[in-house]
Chains A and B, each alone.
Chain A
Amino acid sequence: MEVKISSKEDFSLIEIIRKENESTSTRSLESILKSLAPCCRMIFDMNKCEFLSSAELRVLLGISQQIQEIGGRGAFVGLRKEVASLMYVTGFDNIFKNFDTLSEALAAVKGGNDNA
């Protein structure tokens, strides 16, 4: 798994790149935790994420919970159908809301959309 974090003006864009047949590694995901700050706005670009393992889903859920705790907001953008299904089936469908476009996700994390 590869995680690319880029800081924009008022939010962070995190691109998650993962092939289905890769073995699990949570270290790169855990590195996101370092970039969390109070009231942060985080958008997770999932377009290149083909799969998430059980451990990786747990790390993502943990990040989501931590963002909430510090008053931040997060959103997915471009979550693939198969990954969304996997999240639903395994009960990890409450991590972040997914949006089709970056601008929609941005509006949600900035605009106080409770679902984000």
Chain B
Amino acid sequence: MRKRIDNYATHKYGNFRLRMGRPLPFGSTLVPGGINFSVYSRFATSCELVLFNKGEKDPFAVIPFPDEFRIGNVFTMIVYDLDYENIEYGYRMDGPFNPREGHWFDRSKILLDPYAKLIGGRDLWGQMPDYTNPFQHRSRVALYDFDWEDDRPLEIPMEDLVIYETHVRGFTKHPSSNVKYPGTFAGIREKIPYLKELGVNCIELMPIFEFDEFEHSRYCAETNQFLMNYWGYSSVGFFAPKAGYAATGKYGMQIDEFKALVKDLHKNGIEVILDVVFNHTAEGNSKGPYISFRGVDNKTYYMLTPEGYYQNFSGCGNTINCNHPVVRDLILDCLRYWAGEYHIDGFRFDLASILGRNQDGSPAQNPPLLETLAFDPVLGKCKLIAEAWDAGGLYQVGSFPSWGRWAEWNGKYRDDLRKFLKGDPGMIPPMIQRLQGSPDLYKWQNRGTCASINFVTCHDGFTLMDLVSYNNKHNIANGEHNCDGSNDNNSWNCGHEGTTEDSEVNRLRRKQVKNAVSMLMTSQGIPMLLAGDEMGNTQFGNNNAYCQDNEISWLDWDQLKTNSEIFTYFKKMIAFRKAHPVLRSSHHPEHRDYVGSGYPDVSWHGVKAWEPDNLNNKLTLALMFCGKHAKGGSVQDDFIYIAMNMHWEMHGFELPKLPPGTAWHVFANTDMPAPHDIWGVDNEQLLSNQSEVLVGPRSVVILVGKQIYVGVKPGSLTQIKSERNPACEVKSQEKLSAKDSKFTAINNKPSKPDNAPIKK
């Protein structure tokens, strides 16, 4: 291949050979014989490149960018003959210091490259920093070629995802995880067989961009525990994986380690979604440190008031100026980099509503950044998920600008399901919406069910076991006098606050956990689980463990033994969802028969078939999915009937009649003790009484209506040979017939007046 004709030095500075670099891409890039450095600043009057040997406090060189090396607002320079693997670099920028005008230039500060792909200085998690070192977060030159072989993002259809949210460190840091590399990317890789056994096909990682775990660190007066920025919702750099999350971080090999994890997850059919934090940085407010953006170009990168103060829509001191064209490009470059170089399958945007604010802080009608991301070619198949609110009061669940691309964490799903679960009155109408993918929130924009990320718990708030074990948060260990964390938990302790030996209370809690996951896994929309809920994980009532790098947050894998029945239940519910395409429609139900099955796609019931208990004081609800409508009628599936009784008393639910040749089988009954609580796909137990099922207090029953074996006389149950099982409550035996089918339409559809079976 012909060598470039411009690959020679034009300038010398001391012993360094230089030439003008190329402005794009920003950051540091290896070029033949040297490194291309490029950094944007609109208001800086000059810039210096500061070079260090790895880990050393004092630079070995400071090279000013000659004036002629500036193109537009970009300082760019190639430095030849640098030992790229053993150096670290930063910039010093000169310019006005005038906070009222938004300028914070300070030539004495050494600044991290905003486009640093590799960041040193915090190579080991929790190692106390040397604060006498003037350069804390140190840009390094990244080698980001990687042998991906034939890997690429999996592109699992959105409706088929089962998302598992976890924290890199907390997932395997506990000694009980029994991994070789606890608390790291490599540790997650060791747990891939576990994830596969559980059945999830997407792992969502809480922030992995480089952050400072020592930000706001302190001792808790009450517990004397050292508290840290454990969650990491405070980026130092957006392009670099956190070194402290890598077993090889001390060698600067976090890029390779994380890529190896992604590649292995993909090999095992598991996608990777990153929780990204573009709403603020670790530089905080006017009292915060200079790390990068403040010193590079404060006025461009941060949203400021007319008086020059930092806007604080994030609740963390500053707000990134997301809709400034330069910042928009940075965010786009960043996401493209993670999608292209790391094969990331999707992104969840923390406090995403901030991304839709104008530069003056007002909500934009058509936020350019969100639109750009929706239509970007590189991100074209990436999942884009918004946390559709911010700390400035903007709440956009159901109205987040989407262009048919954005999904949302559905906070209303969480709240309504929690209220229903604990038996609040008036929850039948909202639950009817939530179970069918929240058409009340999303159908008006034709967004479909995939707009709704359904969840009961996430990192923010109680774990699922704590949700059923605590009425109130217990956050004393956070050192904020229990004032932090949400008070609006919609939790219920089942009769005792916290851990108890009371077997009845514990039985009810386990049942409530199973009820919750039963509803989650049978809802239209995309289910998301919080890691550990499948083993009954507790945070001891702490609903805001952002600062707890200890056993409050670390997943205790021994709970898999003590709560094995919960794990089994989760595993089988996930398998059930995956086995039944009718549960994974990408469109909202139409409540009519559009395939000629004689049944609507989804129908609602109560203790009486076809008559939902749509009254304020009722706590019973059932729904039936007709499998003939699965994927718009393109695939065949069974009937699925879910009876939910959140009342404290048992109720009999009259069952809708099935077509001849099919019969109801019990898949799950949360009122039954394990192992009779759940049966497994294709091992459902024939229900002896086909006309009614008894649903225990605060219980969920899931039935599958499927063909009975060949040779059975249609319409008769008497010839069905099946062992009675304790999960199948019997009141009477009746002939099977579809003749009496009737339904009542919900969701703004008129009830069918004659209650007759519907036909296409």
A positions within 8 Å CB-CB of B: 23-24, 51, 53-55, 57-58, 61, 85-86, 88-92, 94
Contact = CB atoms under 8 A, between A and B. Distances in A.
Given A89-B189, A91-B257, 9 more contacts: A23-B86, A51-B251, A53-B85, A54-B143, A54-B251, A55-B84, A90-B248, A92-B256, A94-B147
Residue among B86, B253, B257 with the most chain A CB within 10 A? B253
A57 B260 CA distance: 14
Residue among A51, A54, A94 with the most chain B CB within 10 A? A54
Interface in B425-441: none
A55 B260 contact: no
Residue among A53, A58, A88, A89 with the most chain B CB within 10 A? A89
A3 B691 CA distance: 80
B83 A54 contact: no
Q: Which 8 A-B pairs have the closest CB atoms?
A: A91-B260, A90-B256, A24-B85, A89-B186, A55-B85, A54-B253, A90-B253, A23-B86
B68 to A, nearest CB: 32
Interface of B: 83-86, 143, 145-147, 149, 180-181, 186, 189, 247-248, 251-253, 255-257, 259-260, 263-264
B186 A54 contact: no
Contacts of B257: 89-91
Contacts of B253: 53-54, 86, 89-90
26 contacts: A23-B83, A24-B85, A53-B85, A54-B253, A54-B255, A54-B256, A55-B85, A58-B143, A58-B145, A85-B180, A86-B248, A88-B260, A89-B186, A89-B253, A89-B260, A90-B248, A90-B253, A90-B257, A91-B146, A91-B147, A91-B257, A91-B260, A91-B263, A92-B147, A92-B256, A94-B147
Nearest to A56: B85
A94 B84 CA distance: 25
A38 B147 CA distance: 23
A80 to B, nearest CB: 15
A57 B181 CA distance: 20
B538 to A, nearest CB: 31
B635 to A, nearest CB: 37
A23 B83 CA distance: 10
A106 B143 CA distance: 33
Contacts of A24: 83, 85-86
A89 B259 CA distance: 10
Contacts of A94: 147, 149
Contacts of B83: 23-24
Contacts of B86: 23-24
Contacts of A90: 248, 253, 256-257, 260
A54 B260 CA distance: 13
Contacts of A53: 85, 251, 253
Contacts of A89: 181, 186, 189, 247-248, 253, 257, 260
A61 B252 CA distance: 18
A6 B259 CA distance: 35
Nearest to A64: B147
Contacts of A88: 260
A57 B143 CA distance: 11
B85 A54 contact: yes
Contacts of A51: 251
A32 to B, nearest CB: 18
Contacts of A61: 147
A91 B145 contact: no
B222 to A, nearest CB: 38
A24 B141 CA distance: 14
Contacts of A86: 248, 251, 253
Contacts of B143: 54-55, 58
B8 to A, nearest CB: 21
Contacts of A57: 256
Contacts of A58: 143, 145
Residue among A54, A58, A61, A90 with the most chain B CB within 10 A? A90
A39 B256 CA distance: 30
A103 B735 CA distance: 76
Contacts of B247: 89
Contact of A91 (B84, B85, B259): B259
A55 B253 CA distance: 10
A94 B256 CA distance: 14
Nearest to A92: B256
Nearest to A91: B260
A42 B255 CA distance: 29
Residue among B86, B147, B186, B259 with the most chain A CB within 10 A? B147
Residue among B145, B180, B189, B256 with the most chain A CB within 10 A? B256
B714 to A, nearest CB: 57
Contacts of A85: 180
A54 B146 contact: no
Nearest to B263: A91
A23 B84 CA distance: 11
A83 to B, nearest CB: 12
A19 to B, nearest CB: 14
A1 to B, nearest CB: 12
Nearest to B189: A89
Contacts of B248: 86, 89-90
Nearest to A65: B147
Nearest to B247: A89
A91 B256 contact: yes
Nearest to B144: A54
A61 B148 CA distance: 12
A53 B143 CA distance: 11
A90 B614 CA distance: 56
A24 B143 CA distance: 13
Nearest to B146: A91
A58 B147 CA distance: 9
A86 B85 CA distance: 17
A88 B189 CA distance: 11
B23 to A, nearest CB: 26
A23 to B, nearest CB: 5
A94 B146 CA distance: 12
A82 B257 CA distance: 15
A11 B415 CA distance: 69
A91 B86 CA distance: 21
A85 to B, nearest CB: 8
A37 B141 CA distance: 33
Nearest to A20: B251
Nearest to B86: A23
B157 to A, nearest CB: 27
Contacts of B186: 89
B225 to A, nearest CB: 30
A85 B181 CA distance: 10
A54 B252 contact: yes
A61 B263 CA distance: 17
Contacts of A55: 84-85, 143
A51 B250 CA distance: 13
B283 to A, nearest CB: 29
A23 B55 CA distance: 13
Contacts of B256: 54, 57, 90-92
A92 B255 CA distance: 12
Contacts of B145: 58
A94 B253 CA distance: 17
Nearest to A94: B147
Contacts of B180: 85
A37 B180 CA distance: 40
A57 B84 CA distance: 15
Contacts of B260: 88-91
B187 to A, nearest CB: 10
A85 B248 CA distance: 10
Nearest to A26: B85
B180 to A, nearest CB: 8
Contacts of B259: 91
